[in-house]
Amino acid sequence: MLYPQRLTQFTKEHADAVAAILCGVLLFLGWFALHVGFLGWALLLLPAAYVIGGYESAREGLMTLFKEKELDVDLLMIVAALGAACLGLWRREYYLIVDGATLILIFAISGVLEGYAMGRTERSIRSLMSLTQDTARVLRLGREEVVPISELFVGDEIVVKPGELIPTDAVIVSGYSTINQAAITGESLPVEKTVGEEVFAGTLNGYGALQIKVHLPPESSLIQRVIRLVEQAQESAPPSQQFIEGFERGYARFIVVAGLLLAILPPFVLGWNWEITIYRALTFLVVASPCALMASIMPTLLSGIANGARQGILFKNGAQLEMMGKVRAIAFDKTGTLTTGELRVFTVMPTAEYSQADVLRVAAAVESFSEHPIGNAIVQAATDLDWVKAVEVQAIPGQGIVGIISNQQVIVGNAAFVQQYVTNLPGELKDAALVLEQEGKTVVWVARLKQVLGLIAIADWVRAEAAGAIARLRKLGVEEIVMLTGDNEGTAHSVAQAVGVKRVYAELLPEDKLDVIRRLQQQYDIVAMVGDGINDAPALAQASVGIAMGKAGTDVALDTADIVLMADRLEKIEVAMRLGKRAQAIVKQNIAFALSFIVLLLVGNFLLSINLPIGVIGHEGSTVLVTLNGLRLLKNYEL
């Protein structure tokens, strides 16, 4: 059902945009016709602008009125615009019809901007769905049958070939392989799995064929739980949004009620005649129309969004730009966010008889035949070296790889594997390996028959700018910074120490990350989450502000997040926060100015008896001024 929904959303978004454009064109043509004296044409074009531009607002306002028994700003805008039109026809001051059409155009444009922010949930869920297989290869009566995932039952045995996605959560009953779980758990290295261990739907099988048994219904799989979590988190409205909606309705209700009272009471209380009373009441609706209030926010936020885009920061909606200025706590994913997400050689430690280049040459000679990420990292590190390719290469899953170089057998692998071929491992290297492993590095030993050449430590490298970015965020006033990861405790604390994060949550599943974000929100209210993987999607959706890494980020992380760092530069988070703080300050200035000007115009309307043209000039002038003030955020300040 997602595709018909998406098509409907697509059609509505573009219909709103076309309506706003037509409203603007008709408004301009009507104004021009009125200006050059073609009154008949003006009275045809301007009402058309009213109908085309105001239809959606009128429909939503009336639906709110009749279904929810509430007044909102949409309906107030229509009343104010029609009031201006009626005054214009009544007093033959036709420019007032232009003013009413202008009010409608402003709201139509606002509706278009809000419309394009819709549909993120559908895109996010569709990206998650792409990770799930449609079918599975099931063993039944000794034969393989391809069946839909929906027809799997607990107890079914499935065959998964090398390089295939795991179709559903299951337990391995036969076989051995490495499983790339980064999309689900965030682990930086493929995990070795054997009989009795659980595998997750949406993870990628490595080099070994597996036979797995379904132990949970497919709808209860981890990836399906992630999908449901994203849906739930995105459907829940934050308190600030609820407050804004309540304020708009309360304001509209107050203005409409006040306008009705002003249209009825003055003849009885103040002795005004009915013409003056209606004139003042309609003037009240025009000058009290919240156009300046609405313009107080949107131009400012759009300017901030444009400024951010020039600096590689994609804000998906204006509300999140303002929210960035209020962030009190930030949670960082580890793999692909604080680290590069790519395995590299961290260090090479040779024995006394050999050099680092010797160790890399021998390791690369056999690892060049391997497709394992660790082997690829070693070969990449040895790119500038010359080596003779090994022959008779044989990989032993989960242990290492052996081969022949110049008629000598060479061994590359973990300590237990290498010790099958050499008498003892050098004591100083064993101590160094222990320290490296405690820091979360993967240690690969390199040896010839009965002789150790050295060791190579492999690691997911910490981003060079990470420590500085986190330090600047603290100076900016962020009260709490934590790290969330699916990796083990050792690796997590090693990275956290390198970047200056003191609070670490390790070995987390996606739902665990979501729980941490919720606890942080209870304590700090406004919480940002920075991540790049599918396993981060629920937390990104739940966070007050979700921030995704643009280059490293998966599609679902990018769709779910509110902000995307296009160049994967962590220091841009500080820029986004400073933009948010400036936007927040300018919005407050604009709101204060808009409300003050409305009050001033209202006082002028009833105490100084200003005429409607002056009220319109004041109303439109205040709208222009707050808009220009918001456009100041387009300027590239030193952030």
Which residues participate in catalysis according to the annotation?
333
Contact 493, 378 (CB under 8 A): no
Residue length, the chain? 639
Token pair of 418 as six digits = 């290498």
Pairing of strands 563-565, 545-549: parallel
Alpha-carbon distances of 351 from 355, 379, 418, 484, rounded to whole Å: 8, 20, 15, 37
Distance from the Cα of residue 466 to its chain's centroid: 20
Burial 539-577 (b: 16+ CB within 10 A, else e): bbbbbbbbbbbbebbbbbbbbbbbbbbbebbbbbbbbbb
Q: Is the dihedral of CA 250, 252, 255, 257 positive or negative?
A: negative
Give the Cα separation of 261 and 607 in Å (integer): 17
CA torsion 53-57-59-63 (nearest 10°) is 180
Helix (H) or strand (E) holding 438: helix 427-438
User: SS3 of 108, please?
Assistant: helix
Contact 167, 149 (CB under 8 A): yes
Q: Which residue has the tokens 């260090």?
A: 347
Select from 495, 475, 479 the least CA-distant residue to 487: 495
Q: Which residue has the tokens 């966070």?
A: 543
What are residue 214's DSSP bridge partners? 170
DSSP state, 535? Answer: G
Apex 566 CA angle, 528 and 381, nearest 5: 105
Give the Cα separation of 165 and 160 in Å (integer): 8
Token pair of 45 as six digits = 């074009």
CA torsion 258-262-263-268 (nearest 10°) is 140
Apex 317 CA angle, 315 and 321, nearest 5: 60
DSSP strands (E only) in 294-450: 313-315, 329-333, 339-350, 391-396, 400-405, 408-413, 442-448
Token pair of 95 as six digits = 């420019």
Helical spans, DSSP H, in 68-168 = 73-91, 95-115, 120-129
DSSP strands (E only) in 397-518: 400-405, 408-413, 442-448, 451-462, 480-484, 503-505
Q: Which residue has the tokens 């009260």?
A: 479
Give the Cα separation of 370 and 393 in Å (integer): 9
Helix (H) or strand (E) holding 277: helix 274-288
Contact 168, 201 (CB under 8 A): yes
Contact 227, 198 (CB under 8 A): no
Q: Which residue has the tokens 């490293």?
A: 552
Contact 466, 335 (CB under 8 A): no
Contact 249, 70 (CB under 8 A): yes
